[in-house]
Amino acid sequence: MKLVQAETKKQKKQKSLFDYVWDFFASVKVAIIIIVALALTAILGTIYPQENAIPSPNPQYYYMDTYGKMGDLYYRLGLSDMYNSWWFLTLVLMLAISLIICSIERVVPLYKSLKNQPIARKVIAIRSDRLYAVKEAAGEADIDTLAAALKKKRYKVSREAGALLAEKGRLPRFGAYIIHIGLLIIIAGVFVRLIPGAYFSDMVWLKQGERQYIEEVGFSLQNNGFDLEFYDSDQTRVKKYETDVAVYVGDEEKVKKHLIVNEPLKFNHTLIYQNSYDPNPMFKRGAVELFEKASGKSLGTFEINFDDPQQEYKVGEYTLTMINYYPDIKVDPEKGGVFTNSRDAYNPGLQLKIAKPGGEAQTQWMMPLAPFVEEMLGKDYQYKLQLVQVELFNMTGLRLQKDLGIPVVYSGCAVVLWGLVLCFYFQHRRIWARLEDGVLHIGANTSKNWLGMNKEFNKATAGIGIEPVVVKSKSKAKPIQTATSQSDANQGKEGTEQ
């Protein structure tokens, strides 16, 4: 006894790192913990939209401006792009390893037990089956008749002297492991994203007339026109937003389409969706009128392109020189500074020097959306600049989605569906017959659907004159206790209800 214990301890000490890792991932508890961790992190990823779904090209500002400090924390923790994060992919990889090891640990013994199941099964095991019938004064001819009947039912029949094993539907016993294979294929589809050039998902924001090259997909997109309609005059309920988009490779136009929601353009394995638009209109062009402030007399007008303003404008005898231009002006009274919030003309601010021959030049501000701030930044203006005509436009938001792993994921889903069908709609059925001392013992076992097994069993045994039997309850299907050897019990064990 001491020798056995010493040998056991020695074997434990000799356990390698590989063995520890294998045992760790072979644990069902570990698999459950990984699945729960994935579920919880997936929930965290749905608190706020992910970066590829937000209506902004600047996520570092969007989460703070839209959701406050919690949104900023969400972005800083990396939860805004969680499904591409290294730690989420690590959890997915751990789940894949667990599925592989758990499957090997269980499918190999199952395969061996089914491959090596005895044809000449012990009578004690047959009598313990929930479906059991017996025929007195039987012979080999009865086994032949039974075998022929079972072959007509598409059973695979194996024979030995005085014994029979009929089996069909073995594959459903492996249905759970087929589901595991499907899940592994799906996970493989997820990791296809890590291959350079296989995955790209991002928002592209385009002004009207703007062309932008997207390096990850190797082509350019151009916004040839954006159409935005509202249901009401207050512009609170959007009716539709659509874009005339063109795809360029180099300077060659390859394809163009009028994009509407849910009807993407596909080019070079990339789907281009009409996803969003910037609700804040931008200034494109405008007509500015110059007035003499004291008399209110109009001195003339000039045209300005807010995307590319000129350095100098002429209005009659007056010369207007651009000193500063802020496309999206912000004034910070505390710091006493003026800066631009973005490069797009959402709220333009112009600082101009106005001069006429023989007169003293004057510096003046013009802010179409905040004229009251002009007085704060200036003193006694002699002139007044007023925007009398303006052309506004919205920036369209296009989502590009390239994912070469999607066909792999769909294939995995098909395999999972196949495994589910096998598990729920098909059964593994086996029938044993053993002739002993002129008595034919017949037992049957199935993984599920005992009612169907019962009907099939009675039809097969009716040909040899056996009266119909009914399925015994589980409590009555326990093995009969007799003085058999342990080896006999083990031999008859395969085939009892799982």
Residue with tokens 């009266």: 467
Are 378 and 364 within 8 A, CB to CB?
Answer: yes
**What tokens does 387 get?**
């925007």
Distance between CA atoms of 257 and 325, rounded to whole angstroms? Answer: 36
Distance between CA atoms of 69 and 8, rounded to whole angstroms? Answer: 58
pLDDT at 375: 62
pLDDT at 9: 57
pLDDT at 496: 40
Among 191, 111, 188, which residue's Cα sits nearest to residue 416? 188
Are 85 and 74 within 8 A, CB to CB?
Answer: no
Are 264 and 271 within 8 A, CB to CB?
Answer: yes
pLDDT at 451: 93
Among 165, 160, 40, 185, which residue's Cα sits nearest to residue 100? 185
Among 406, 376, 29, which residue's Cα sits nearest to residue 188? 406
Residue with tokens 């214990």: 5
Residue with tokens 């592989």: 100
- Per residue of the chain (498 residues), give pLDDT as tens: 555 555 555 555 677 888 888 999 999 899 999 999 999 999 998 999 988 777 676 788 888 888 889 989 999 988 998 888 888 999 999 999 999 999 999 999 999 999 999 999 999 999 999 999 999 988 999 999 999 999 999 999 999 989 999 999 999 999 999 999 999 999 999 899 888 889 888 888 898 888 999 998 999 999 999 988 888 877 778 889 999 999 999 999 999 999 999 899 999 999 999 988 888 888 888 999 998 888 888 999 999 999 889 999 999 899 999 999 998 888 776 666 788 887 888 889 998 999 988 878 888 888 888 776 666 555 677 888 888 888 888 889 898 999 999 999 999 999 999 999 999 999 999 999 999 999 999 999 998 899 999 999 999 999 999 999 999 887 666 554 433 333 343 444 444 433
88 exposure class (CB count in 10 Å sphere: 0-12, 13-18, 19+): buried
pLDDT at 13: 60
**What tokens does 412 get?**
């995995």
pLDDT at 379: 61
Q: How many whole angstroms from its chain centre is CA 53?
A: 13
Q: What is the dihedral of CA 31, 36, 38, 40, to 10 degrees?
A: -170
Q: Where do the domains of the chain lie, and which CATH numbers do they carry?
A: 16-106 (no CATH), 122-169+428-493 (3.30.310.50), 199-279+396-403 (no CATH), 282-392 (no CATH)
Are 191 and 89 within 8 A, CB to CB?
Answer: yes
Distance between CA atoms of 426 and 128, rounded to whole angstroms? Answer: 24
pLDDT at 8: 57
